[in-house]
Amino acid sequence: MQRLDKLLSEAGVASRRELKAIIRAGRVQVNGKTVRDPEQKVDETADEIMLDGAVVGKKRMVLLMLHKPAGYVTSTDDPRDQTVMELIPEEYRRLGVVPIGRLDKDTEGLLLLTNDGAVNHNLLSPRRHVWKLYYASHEGLAGEADMAAFEAGITLENGETCLPAKLHPLGSGRSLIAIREGKYHQVRRMMAARGMPVTYLKRVAFGGLTLGELPLGAVKEVALETVQSPPCDIAQAGSRCFFP
């Protein structure tokens, strides 16, 4: 059981403030009876809820892909910085979407958001090891020894060891990096451990999704089933991506 206004808000009908006025105006019926109390308890699995004569279903589960610009923090609220939620249309914010994992403030690229707790958990679960692919501009030139070190598992400056990863040089100062975990500033720290400090970082793929030509700052809804964790063919995935 939950409050009527909360249920309708989670269904994406309107904001909680707007819903109070809608309900008090007599526009909502529960099991055929007009209800004017926003706090009335209802059972979404048993009660029929209608707004202006149309049945209101359960909360719609969505998965969003955001092309995150640099300068935004991956948080739902921050007292100092702009957050990625400021880029999300109101219709999706009303559905309660939250970021899946995070991208650093200075990192651009593919960030997923959802209101489906199971999807969020599955994509972040250490047991699933979902691959993430990054494009990096960096100092130095990556070579075979660096690729082998990534395959073996990079040891960071603090002694922490990363899972085996993939490094694919694109030429002087440019590389693709694929990882399957999410340690703090992991890609930057891995590259620094090999003497190649990162100057620009962009995530271009997450599981089976690639950023493609989605404009910077734009949001696109994608099917929940499109995120998978296939073996990472870094060259093939990279061929579907667009780099600066």
Q: What positions carry a catalytic annotation?
A: 104
**Distance (Å, rounded) from C-alpha 170 to C-alpha 176?**
7
CA distance 203 to 1: 40
Tokens at residue 200, please?
């620009």
Handedness of CA 196, 197, 198, 199 (dihedral sign): negative
Q: How many helices (H) does the chain have, and how many strands (E)?
A: 7, 15
Nearest to 113 by CA among 96, 127, 125, 130: 96
* Joined tokens for residue 114: 């959802």
| R_g over Cα of the chain | 22
- Tokens 């959802």 belong to which residue? 114
CA 45 vs CA 11, 116, 119: distances in Å: 13, 17, 21
94, two tokens: 């009303």
Residue that is written with structure tokens 């990162």 in the block? 198
